[in-house]
Amino acid sequence: MDLLIVRATGADAGEILTLQRAAYVAEAIAHDSFIPPLVEPLDSVAARIAANLVLAARAGHRLVGTVQARLEDGTCHVGRLAVVPDLQGRGIGSRLLSELEDRVPAARRYELFTGGLSEANIRLYQRLGYTVFDHRSNPDGLPLVYLEKFINR
């Protein structure tokens, strides 16, 4: 699949919101919870794009994946990795995460979290070199697994 990964702009906010809602439905069902990506308003997505590095993966004109990052004190906080449901499992998420790591060369450490019941996500991150370092719950009691990856540059 030809995939073009570019930095998202404010014009991408609506498409990113639609993509993340579609991609996170299975996660919400698994955790029996309305997770933040499902209820985030459009202005919040636009603000994230303006304040963070947000990547958009396109196959032709179709937005098929997205991920965001924020660098703080040498740690790149990775979030909102999402791939359209009909193309999950085809390497798009791995490519997005690899591209994100390449675009944040100042990071010494990458950190992300996923739902505690998201076994496929956890396996993906571990396959890409991330290790579990903590288990926490969000304010609504949703179990989360935190993973990290150290980079020696």
CB-based contacts of 117, cutoff 8 Å, min separation 6? 30, 31, 143
pLDDT at 38: 86
Chain segment 96-149, per-residue pLDDT in tens: 999 999 999 999 999 999 999 889 999 999 999 999 999 999 888 889 999 999
The beta-strand segments (E) located in the chain are 4-7, 53-59, 62-72, 75-83, 109-115, 131-137, 143-150
pLDDT band at 152 (very low <50, low <70, confident <90, very high): confident
Q: Which domain holds residue 100?
A: 4-150
Its pTM surpasses 0.85: yes
pLDDT band at 31 (very low <50, low <70, confident <90, very high): confident
CATH of the domain at 68: 3.40.630.30
User: For all residues of the chain together, what is the average pLDDT?
Assistant: 94
Total domain count, the chain = 1
Instruction: For the chain, give percent helix, strand, coil, nearest 5.
Output: 40, 35, 25
pLDDT at 153: 66
Chain segment 72-90, per-residue pLDDT in tens: 999 999 999 999 999 999 9
- Count of other CB atoms within 10 angstroms of residue 150: 11
For 10-23, letters b (16+ CB in 10 Å) and e give: eebbebbbebbeeb
State residue 18 phi and psi, 5-degree precision: -60, -45
